[in-house]
Chain A
């Protein structure tokens, strides 16, 4: 019996020949991602237990992002605790304000993600990095503390579900629409405890940025990790971004690897999708919900705050005025600069958008665009749970940057294809 890519990476990390689904392993961790919400409690735990140490200062990447720049006194205290710890241990990769960005956009961009490695982070969307043929999963603060101190964690190797994506998406249909269609079909717990392995010919038409949008949302189907095999597109991105450590190991699933099930999707027939409140699985084709009045559009986040996303939104907003509050949040400082240099800020400014500094911000109802009771927001983010972006009686509609931008122009849910 062959192994899946997920099983192979876990086997290597556990120093074993092979690993099968359901097997418990102690895996060595290659990279730990730390941010401002879940890491400060982990630090406190380590200090309290008398094990305030880091296993390898060069394998921990720190960036405040959720409430950054500090939105209030309490979040400033969190940042202070994070900062003191990072400096005390001389953490090698510490992105401070001005260099800090939304973690899941920042780490790949700064060359910290390598194929074949095991990456954990104190954030559920850490599954994003699986786009680089790595095993990557989100953990809580106690796991984070254990990983920081020991460089190891226990895992139950997940069974895999293979998603085969075929066909070319039509103009106006993006990887966000694909993943919303996937989650609409399999459900928010359709991949609970499982690996979601993406495959199929559509991938060869998707950039790494587009792929990250999909693996980012693997958790929205309940998955432990999302993963995509290595190819020329992966290689090219890594050639451009890897810095200090440029070697990596490529694993791929065996042809006789065991899958719990295989789901096929024809991306050529997909429409732009909108996930209606209050679950990410609430995706429907935009034609079924267009016309719904919105109060705000939000373009940003670890799902869709990358340069390609901003370009798509800018193209639609160019020469037009947004009819509703529209907030654009480039996910990292270098995306921010690139957007500025490409003239996208001029377009957003002329359209009446707010351009924010990199932050998770309003995606999780933190700040920079929180919703009042009864308000509705079309958002390029990943969750539309009750109260996610603000008041429990507000509503979030998940969509691609194109759909969010088109909806911003008209002030209501709008099919972006008329603007493309």
Chain B
């Protein structure tokens, strides 16, 4: 079971997810200590393994820093559910083997603190707190191919 951390906002950007002053390292655990710091200083203290970030449109906009994905993954966040994602962030997540959920309906219906159960194969979010079921389109096959291989580099190694 995953707990939802809802940020009812559009355009949550990479400077909020991991401020640039921490980009002098690429250590995932160190980055994780500052995850979402520009938006919510308490995030790291309240997030538990497998929890979910829920947000509005254009999540991850701004910089190409993959550190944003690493900070979120390092904080043991299970996935991010957003109405839409910025392009480079989305691509970086797939390349890292980190599954993102694009859902027009989820944000807005999911409340902060709700317990969620997610079936990635069928594309179903069960909100156990409210009893609402939300469907989403699973990632396309080419993206799943990369994620299932464990990321882009493992994926291309197969072809090399």
Chain B residue numbers with a CB within 8 Å of A386 are 13, 15-16, 38-39
CA distance A387 to B12 in the complex (A): 12
A222 within 8 A of B: yes
CA distance A299 to B156 in the complex (A): 42
A383 contact from B15, B19, B66, B160, Cβ within 8 A? B15
B61 contact from A66, A189, A370, Cβ within 8 A? A189
A37 contact from B13, B23, B95, B151, Cβ within 8 A? B23
Contact between B15 and A41 (Cβ–Cβ < 8 Å)?
no
Contact between A192 and B84 (Cβ–Cβ < 8 Å)?
yes
CA distance A188 to B60 in the complex (A): 12
Nearest CB in chain A to that of B23: its residue: A37
Chain A residue numbers with a CB within 8 Å of B91 are 139-140, 143
B11 within 8 A of A: yes
CA distance A385 to B13 in the complex (A): 7
Near B by CB (< 8 A), chain A positions 48-71 give 49, 51, 66-67, 71
Contact between B95 and A143 (Cβ–Cβ < 8 Å)?
yes
Nearest CB in chain B to that of A44: its residue: B26
If A51-B157, A71-B24, A366-B21 touch, whether A139 touches B58 (CB-CB below 8 Å) is no
Nearest CB in chain A to that of B87: its residue: A193
Count A interface residues, CB 8 Å.
Answer: 50
A355 within 8 A of B: no
If A72-B24, A142-B151 touch, whether A383 touches B62 (CB-CB below 8 Å) is yes
Contact between B66 and A365 (Cβ–Cβ < 8 Å)?
no
CA distance A38 to B160 in the complex (A): 23
Nearest CB in chain B to that of A48: its residue: B153
**B42-70 interface code vs A (CB 8 A; 1 in, 0 out):** 00000000000000011001111111010
Contact between A188 and B61 (Cβ–Cβ < 8 Å)?
yes
Contact between A139 and B64 (Cβ–Cβ < 8 Å)?
yes
If A37-B23, A40-B26 touch, whether A143 touches B57 (CB-CB below 8 Å) is no
A166 within 8 A of B: no
Chain A residue numbers with a CB within 8 Å of B13 are 383, 385-386
**A21-41 interface code vs B (CB 8 A; 1 in, 0 out):** 000100000000000011011
CB distance from A282 to the nearest CB of B (A): 11
**A189-231 interface code vs B (CB 8 A; 1 in, 0 out):** 1001100000000000000000000000000001010000000
State the 6 A-B residue pairs at the shortest beta-carbon distance, nearest first. A140-B66, A140-B92, A74-B24, A142-B95, A41-B26, A364-B20
Give 16 A-B contacts (CB < 8 Å), ordered by A residue.
Answer: A67-B23, A74-B25, A77-B24, A78-B24, A141-B26, A142-B153, A143-B92, A143-B152, A145-B152, A146-B153, A150-B160, A365-B15, A366-B20, A366-B21, A385-B13, A386-B39
Q: A38-B64, A67-B23, A189-B84 are in contact. List 13 more A-B contacts (CB 8 A).
A: A37-B23, A37-B65, A41-B67, A74-B25, A124-B62, A141-B26, A146-B156, A189-B57, A224-B87, A279-B11, A364-B23, A365-B19, A370-B21
